[in-house]
Amino acid sequence: MTTTMTASTPLLEARGLTRKFGGVVALDRLDLAIERNEILGLIGPNGSGKTTFFNVATGIYRADAGHITFDGVETTGATSRAIYRAGVSRTFQRSRLSLPLSIFDNVMIGNHKRLNQGLWFNLVRRRAFKREFETNYHAARTLIEVFEPQLAGRMFEPVAGLPMIDRRRIEICRALISQPKLLLLDEPSAGMTHEETTALMDDILQIRTLNKNLAIVIVEHEMGVIERITDRCAVLNFGRKIAEGPYRQVAADRQVQEAYLGVA
Amino acid sequence: MDAGLFAQYVMNGLMLGMMYALVAVGFTLFFGVLDIIKFSHGDVLTVGAFTALATYVGLRSAGIGASPVILLIMLVVAIFAMAALGMLIARLLVLPLRSAPALNTLLITLMFGTVLRESVRLFYPQGANPKPFPALLPSVSVNFGNFNLRLDSALMLAAGLIVIVGLQLLLNRTKLGLAIRAVAQDEETARTMGVNFTAIVLITFAIGSGLAAFAGIMNGLYYNEINFGIGLYLGVIGFAAAIIGGLGSIYGAILGGFLFAALQTIGTVALPFASAYKDVFAFAVVIIFMAWRPTGLIQEKISERV
Amino acid sequence: MIAGEQHAKGALLPGVVAVALTTAYLIALLAVEKQPLIIGLLALAIAAVLAANWLGWLAPVSRSFADREEPLAGLAIAAAFAVAVFFHDDHFVLLLVCTVLLYTVATLGLNIQFGYAGVLNFAGASFFGIGAYTSAVFNAHTAVPHLLVLLIGGLIAALIGSLLLLPVLRTRGHYAALVTIAFALLLKTFLEVNDVLGGPQGLQVKGMKIFGWSFNDNIEIGKISLSFYWSYFVVSMLLLIGAFILVRRLERSWIGLNLDALRLDETAANCFGLDVARWKITAFTLGNFLIGMAGALFGMIGGFVAPNNYTFADSLLLVSILLLGGIGNPWGLVVATVIVVVVPEKLQTIQEYRFLLYALLVIMVLLFRPEGLLPRPVRRYFPGWRP
């Protein structure tokens, strides 16, 4: 796989991306580029296409028209699995953890591509498997510790009994464990208090300092968060990008204000 | 093949198709409103047929003989009894499991179907053996060459058609039908619009189960015989038909029912030496079809939001 | 031990006591003949379990099994042998024991399919029957060694199963349900109609013979005579032990995790690189392999195979065992199989009603205790392991 990469090639580029659901045009010839190692805020009123964009970018929905390239490779119409293997990871708007499973299990689900999936290895070579298990236990534990040290000692507790904020943290760890190049966060702070949100954003920034080779796209409704942690923003409305740039600039944009508040 | 024989096959196919369609519609109704597969549907059909038979026996021993009257009473008793049974199933088994995985509802209705089936086999007098079902429609028949047109078949076909048309009218032209369709489309919105969700579910189950009773009686009249396993068999076919047509679509269910009957007929014609294989043939085609077009001919309801 | 990690290892004693008590109870239940005594014993068991639950004695037993599984499993094997030795010349009891062992293997296979991967299989008894028919045909017409015939039975069941599932792999759960129910119903009709495979009467199955030792002869060791079922008991135990280890290791691996992930949330599993279709078919095939092998051995033990023994109702009975015991918990399966197989045999009056009764029981379980008798605990990759 050859990549036509230069330092200025965007990590992910969507051009003319269109997706319809029946009569509703969720993405309308969207052009959006995500640069390497940046934190991009994706904002817009409800129904503007943010989650749909994530779903198309991760292969859950096929685009009706347009192209996406990731890391120089065309991924339009690629499967979710291929996109994950290429280095894209995500969280979901509606928290999708496997509730009966333990914290460790849930995080390991995100690590699929780095685990040995062979039948012989898993069933027969138990000593080797144990070594891989222990290595990954420590990796998962270390990651969880960044977000919530209290959970680190409870890695084999079922997720079902944990509060929402812990579940979101675990979901983010699940997305991070495979060391992706691009992390898509879909409303990570939904349902959290202001303090919890601040703590979560601190943790995300910490992840960034530890891992320079990571771009993050974050969908958020709390503008304080966007202002604080993003390098720049893209604003969607009715499936199109209507503004782009640092938060301050975008917040002052007339079109953006109208999109959120309606025409005065 | 001569025209008379052909017409005979067509007539048989239509009758089967009608019965399958009636059962398939039930499956699709339940799936539509609740996103669940109610596997006891076929066995409700069996109980309906046996209820009608028991009514018949009771009426005859009470001295009532007039054919149309008996049939009418049988229909009324069976349909209302099964409607009640359907509501009980909804109230006691299905609704309580709403928050559990959909699998549990499938399993619980499957098990309840077994309860119904085994109950008939064990508790109805000689239930394990096939029971003769009275011929209550005029057994006159007309011959057109090789084609023997039974009057009772024609009547049943007409009655089935009326029931299906009636159902369509109910769903598309009445307020109740509107409520049912609303719940099938989007439960949350329907509730906020003031629709009484539980009542609609119960009514839908009542309708579906009533249809099953009707189909059961039709089956009994056509073959002059019923047995405790008939519902399981028809249920599997009805379910397959609903899937071919696209779960959630009434038209699809009807279409699927007739399609399955057509497949069986083709199987019978193509393999005259082994007509027992007609079902294998029909199901094999269904399975291949499912691989090719899993959502059915008319789009299955997509209910998952990512 | 890192501070804050879970509580201390479960003690061995509660598990040992549980196994010992259960074994003693089983021997009593199997030995007793009079119906009122049996009913009394059953009532005693129910009361004892409820009391133990109320007294909080069941949790330590659970922990014991979770942390000390290996020694307890060894003990359980010894207990099974103890039962077999106690009834060493009782044909009826030993046959019953073999039936329990092989049904457990079959349900373990079903557990891989349904409990782990979430793939519905309502034709379990049909695949069991396919294994049995394989023995019948191979033993009668070929000179293939009988142990190999077991493997072949498993392979044929696995192959037919995967052919059946392939078309509906990418569809929702109820499609697999429909396909397997249709298969269960149609296979029975197919067998009844085909005289090549014996028709409704079925076929005779030649008894097992390994290296010249014919299993169908009674065994004499000095003054002690063993029922010929003893040889079958040993082979069945070996099969069960193998199946149990397989299922345990499967669950306690990345593969087990994959299966759980795809059962619980296919979309998310896809987003994290899981090949859902591949793992579903793997689980289904592996499960049917176990079911087929158990069926092949069962055919040889029983001596004959007929379509009427492998009906849809029998498949539902296997599913009932799974639901009663606790989906995903192999120990629960063992307990549930004993209950479902032994009780109707001892309590002859309910034999006729067993499909009805167990269906009702499952309905109760689904309404009030869906996790079953022994709920499946959280995955512990290495029991007793602490970081």
Contact predicate B213/B45, CB 8 Å? yes
How high is the pLDDT of residue B299?
67
Nearest CA in chain A to C256: A122
Residue A4 has pLDDT above 60, yes or no: no
Residue A222 has pLDDT above 90, yes or no: no
Amino acid at B241: A
Q: Which two tokens stand for residue A187?
A: 């409303």
What is the distance of C-alpha A127 from the center of its chain?
35
The residue extents of the domains of chain C are 91-348
Using the beta-carbon criterion (under 8 Å), do A55 and B305 form an inter-chain contact?
Answer: no
Residue A262 has pLDDT above 70, yes or no: no
Mean pLDDT of B180-206: 87
Residue C157 has pLDDT above 90, yes or no: yes
How high is the pLDDT of residue A7?
56
Mean pLDDT of A3-30: 84
Per mean pLDDT, which of B8-22, B191-205, C121-135, C176-190 is the most reliable? C121-135
User: What are chain A's partners, defined as 3 or more CB pairs within 8 angstroms?
Assistant: B, C
Mean pLDDT of chain C: 89
Q: What are C337-369's pLDDT values in tens digits?
A: 999 999 998 888 888 899 999 999 999 999 998
Of the listed ranges A114-118, A167-171, C6-10, C118-122, the least confidently predicted one is C6-10
pLDDT band at A16 (very low <50, low <70, confident <90, very high): very high
pLDDT band at C218 (very low <50, low <70, confident <90, very high): confident
Q: What are A75-98's pLDDT values in tens digits?
A: 998 999 999 999 999 999 888 999
**CB proximity under 8 Å: A 117-176 to B:** none
SS3 C211: coil
How high is the pLDDT of residue B306?
61
How far is the C-alpha of A257 from the C-alpha of A263, rounded, in Å?
8
pLDDT band at B302 (very low <50, low <70, confident <90, very high): low
Q: Where are the beta strands (DSSP E) in B146-289?
A: 147-150, 225-226
Mean pLDDT of C267-286: 95
Using the beta-carbon criterion (under 8 Å), do C366 and B111 form an inter-chain contact?
Answer: yes
Mean pLDDT of C120-142: 94
Q: Which two tokens stand for residue C67?
A: 């942390």
How far is the C-alpha of B100 from the C-alpha of C37, rounded, in Å?
40
Mean pLDDT of A102-116: 96
Provide DSSP, C166-207: GGGTTS-HHHHHHHHHHHHHHHHHHHHH-GGGTGGG-EE-PP
Contact predicate C255/A92, CB 8 Å? no
For A112, the closest of C6, C253, C273 (CB atoms) is C273
- Cβ-Cβ contacts under 8 Å, C174 against chain B: 37, 106
How far is the C-alpha of C184 from the C-alpha of C204, rounded, in Å?
22
Burial class of residue A216 in the structure, from the number of CB atoms within 10 Å of its CB (0-12 exposed, 13-18 middle, 19+ buried): buried
Q: What are C53-97's pLDDT values in tens digits?
A: 888 887 788 788 878 888 999 999 999 999 998 898 888 999 999
Closest-CA distance, B182 to chain C, in angstroms, reads 24
- Cβ-Cβ contacts under 8 Å, A135 against chain C: none
Contact predicate A110/A97, CB 8 Å? no
pLDDT band at A6 (very low <50, low <70, confident <90, very high): low
Q: Is residue A252 part of a domain?
A: yes
Cβ neighbours of A218 (radius 10 Å): 24
Phi, psi of B145 (to 5 degrees): 65, -125
Strand partners, A90: A184
How high is the pLDDT of residue C66?
79
Burial class of residue C309 in the structure, from the number of CB atoms within 10 Å of its CB (0-12 exposed, 13-18 middle, 19+ buried): middle
Q: Is residue A225 part of a domain?
A: yes
- Cβ-Cβ contacts under 8 Å, B291 against chain C: 166-168
User: What are chain C's partners, defined as 3 or more CB pairs within 8 angstroms?
Assistant: A, B
pLDDT band at C1 (very low <50, low <70, confident <90, very high): very low
Residue scoring higher pLDDT (C19 or C5): C19
Mean pLDDT of C24-52: 89
How far is the C-alpha of B147 from the C-alpha of B9, rounded, in Å?
9
How far is the C-alpha of A7 from the C-alpha of C345, rounded, in Å?
76
Residue scoring higher pLDDT (B188 or B229): B229
Q: What are B127-176's pLDDT values in tens digits?
A: 889 999 988 888 788 887 777 788 888 889 999 999 999 998 998 899 99
Q: Is residue A38 part of a domain?
A: yes
How high is the pLDDT of residue A5?
52
Mutate to test the interface with C, among A88, A101, A117, A171 (most CBs of C within 10 A): A117
Residue B112 has pLDDT above 50, yes or no: yes
Residue scoring higher pLDDT (B87 or A191): B87
Q: In sequence order, which ranges of C216-305 are alpha helices (DSSP H)?
A: 229-251, 254-264, 266-271, 276-302
Q: Which two tokens stand for residue B225?
A: 């015989």
Going C332 to C338 to C343 to C348, the CA torsion angle's sign is positive
Using the beta-carbon criterion (under 8 Å), do C182 and B243 form an inter-chain contact?
Answer: no
- Cβ-Cβ contacts under 8 Å, B306 against chain A: 51, 55, 60, 92
Q: Rg for chain A (alpha carbons), in Å?
A: 19
Using the beta-carbon criterion (under 8 Å), do B118 and C363 form an inter-chain contact?
Answer: no
Prediction ipTM score: 0.91
Q: What is the largest CA-CA distance in chain C?
A: 69
- Cβ-Cβ contacts under 8 Å, B293 against chain C: none
Interface contact A94, partner B, CB < 8 A: yes
The domain tally of chain A equals 1
Pick the CATH number of C91-348 from 3.30.70, 1.10.3470, 1.10.8, 1.20.140: 1.10.3470
Instruction: Report the percent of chain B where pLDDT is more than 90.
Output: 48
Residue C130 has pLDDT above 60, yes or no: yes
Q: Is residue A257 part of a domain?
A: yes
Mutate to test the interface with A, among C272, C274, C329 (most CBs of A within 10 A): C272
Contact predicate C200/C309, CB 8 Å? no
Q: What are B115-135's pLDDT values in tens digits?
A: 999 999 999 998 889 999 988
Distances (CA, A) of B139 to B147, B241, C128: 15, 30, 46
**What does the angle CA B254 – CA B259 – CA B261 come to, to the nearest 5 degrees?**
100
Q: Is residue A162 part of a domain?
A: no
Residue scoring higher pLDDT (C314 or A8): C314
Cβ neighbours of C125 (radius 10 Å): 27
- The gap between the terminal CA atoms of chain B, to the nearest Å, is 54
Q: Is residue A48 part of a domain?
A: yes
Residue B304 has pLDDT above 60, yes or no: no
Using the beta-carbon criterion (under 8 Å), do A84 and C249 form an inter-chain contact?
Answer: no
For A84, the closest of C250, C253, C272 (CB atoms) is C272
Using the beta-carbon criterion (under 8 Å), do C255 and A157 form an inter-chain contact?
Answer: no
Residue scoring higher pLDDT (C198 or C273): C273
Q: Rg for chain C (alpha carbons), in Å?
A: 21
Cβ neighbours of C8 (radius 10 Å): 9
pLDDT band at C275 (very low <50, low <70, confident <90, very high): very high
Residue C118 has pLDDT above 80, yes or no: yes
- Closest residue by Cα to residue C25 from C47, C10, C57: C47
Contact predicate C318/C340, CB 8 Å? no
Using the beta-carbon criterion (under 8 Å), do C272 and A89 form an inter-chain contact?
Answer: yes
Amino acid at A175: A
Residue B300 has pLDDT above 60, yes or no: no
Q: Which two tokens stand for residue B115?
A: 């309860």
Residue scoring higher pLDDT (B281 or C100): C100
Mutate to test the interface with C, among B109, B287, B306 (most CBs of C within 10 A): B287
**CB proximity under 8 Å: A 31-90 to B:** 51, 55, 60
Ramachandran category for residue B246: left, alpha or beta (phi over 0 → left; psi -120 to 50 → alpha): left
Q: Structural domain of residue A21, as residue ranges? A: 1-87+218-264
Contact predicate C319/C122, CB 8 Å? yes
Residue scoring higher pLDDT (C354 or C386): C354
Contact predicate A183/A110, CB 8 Å? no
Contact predicate C334/C104, CB 8 Å? yes
Closest-CA distance, C271 to chain A, in angstroms, reads 5
Q: Which two tokens stand for residue A66?
A: 């347009």
How high is the pLDDT of residue A101?
95
Nearest CA in chain B to A54: B306
Mean pLDDT of C266-283: 94
What is the model's pTM? Answer: 0.91
How far is the C-alpha of A38 from the C-alpha of B243, rounded, in Å?
48
Distances (CA, A) of B210 to B35, B213, B218, C228: 20, 5, 12, 56
How far is the C-alpha of B135 from the C-alpha of B218, rounded, in Å?
11
Place of tokens 């609740």: B34
Closest-CA distance, C382 to chain A, in angstroms, reads 8
Contact predicate B253/B168, CB 8 Å? no
